Amino acid sequence: MIPGGALMIFVIVVPILLGLYMSVLTLDQYTLRQWLSAPFAGPGNYIEAVTDSPLLKSFWISLSFAVLSTAAAVPLGIAAALATQNYFPGRAVMRSVFLIPFVMPSFVVATVWRTMFQPDGVIVNGLHSVGITSGLWLNGPNSYWTLVFVEVWASWPFIYLLALAGLQSVDHDVHEASALDGASWWPKLRYVIFPYLKGPVALACVIATLNHINNFALPFVLFGIPAPDDVQTLPILTYSTTFESFRFGLGAAMAFSSLMLLAIPLIIYVRAVKLDVDEGADK
């Protein structure tokens, strides 16, 4: 049991502390091999990241991308949960199918959509045949919307799963009561069912937003490096600064700065989760 804790510290805590130390070093491809003797830079990397790099722009791209993707997934997830809550023949199959986008590896999802969004690819041609002339999807300003769209495709079942869990907590009596009152379907949803979904869906939104902000594989595979300016999310910017420009110190500073964006959803998430046996027991 002690070895378990030691391994955990070795592979998680140590790298984080080292990263923090590296963020105050002038660390590049010349000093990499002897990084322990790399010159000390103080807060220089952080100052450069904020004032003289696309960090702030990436900050907004990540934030808006994450919030938009979550917002678009919510109605989809709730609608899918409502539709599969009650029994119908084939419901079990449907529920499995709904999870496929979520369990498909991100790198496969991104590869397939990248092929579909090619210039002259199936999407551009399809839109053309119905009279819409679209520009490039993998470059230029449209790339941002491509990223949001694919992210929604890959992640909405997460909202669906937690919405389904919320629906399950609605007692049969509640259904009976609203049937007795003669509520038609929309008022019933709006005033009776949705309040039950608020908690689980809110939690789902927080976790989903965290995952969107951290998603590296999807934009990386979808657009490649260097990514178009409009999809340079924080992980992509950090990656290209570190492994394309070899500015390791600056990259580390960027990585730690981007924690600021994660902090708010993360605090909400950690507080919402039951940590203890005793807390969990009275559920």
Long-range contacts for 201-206 (Cβ within 8 Å, ≥24 apart)? 201/74, 201/77, 201/78, 201/159, 201/162, 201/163, 201/166, 203/162, 203/269, 203/272, 204/77, 204/158, 204/159, 204/161, 204/162, 204/163, 205/70, 205/74, 205/159, 206/265, 206/268, 206/269, 206/272
60-79: contacts with another protein (CB under 8 A): 76, 79
Q: How far apart are CA 262 and CA 86, in angstroms?
A: 37
CB of 94 to another protein, least distance (A): 7
Q: How far apart are CA 234 and CA 261, in angstroms?
A: 10
Comparing CB distances to another protein, the nearer of 53 and 106 is 106
Handedness of CA 37, 38, 42, 46 (dihedral sign): negative
CB of 4 to another protein, least distance (A): 4
Q: Counting runs of H as helices and runs of E as strands, what totals does the chain give? A: 15, 0
- Interface residue with another protein, options 50, 183, 211, 229 (CB under 8 A): 211
139-158: contacts with another protein (CB under 8 A): 153-155, 158
240-259: contacts with another protein (CB under 8 A): 242-243, 248, 251-252, 255-256, 258-259
CB of 161 to another protein, least distance (A): 5
The closest of 267, 274, 168 to 209, measured between CA atoms, is 267
Q: Does 223 bind another protein (CB under 8 A)?
A: no
Q: Does 5 bind another protein (CB under 8 A)?
A: yes
Q: Does 130 bind another protein (CB under 8 A)?
A: no
Comparing CB distances to another protein, the nearer of 61 and 213 is 213
Interacting stretch for another protein, rule CB under 8 A, among 42-50, 52-60, 114-122, 133-141? 114-122
Per the DSSP assignment, residues forming a β-bridge with 25 are 40
Q: How far apart are CA 82 and CA 160, in angstroms?
A: 9
- Interface residue with another protein, options 94, 141, 187, 226 (CB under 8 A): 94
- Interface residue with another protein, options 30, 32, 226, 264 (CB under 8 A): 32
- Interface residue with another protein, options 7, 47, 260, 264 (CB under 8 A): 7
- Interface residue with another protein, options 60, 71, 175, 191 (CB under 8 A): 175
Q: Residue 138 to residues 66, 131, 231, 259, 279: CA-CA distances in angstroms?
A: 19, 20, 10, 28, 48
Cis amide linkage into residue 226, ω under 30° from 0:
yes
> In this structure, what are the phi and psi dihedrals at residue 40, rounded to the nearest 5 degrees?
-75, 135
Interacting stretch for another protein, rule CB under 8 A, among 46-54, 63-71, 98-106, 136-144? 98-106
- Interface residue with another protein, options 45, 53, 69, 238 (CB under 8 A): 238
Comparing CB distances to another protein, the nearer of 103 and 132 is 103
Interacting stretch for another protein, rule CB under 8 A, among 32-40, 50-58, 66-74, 133-141? 32-40
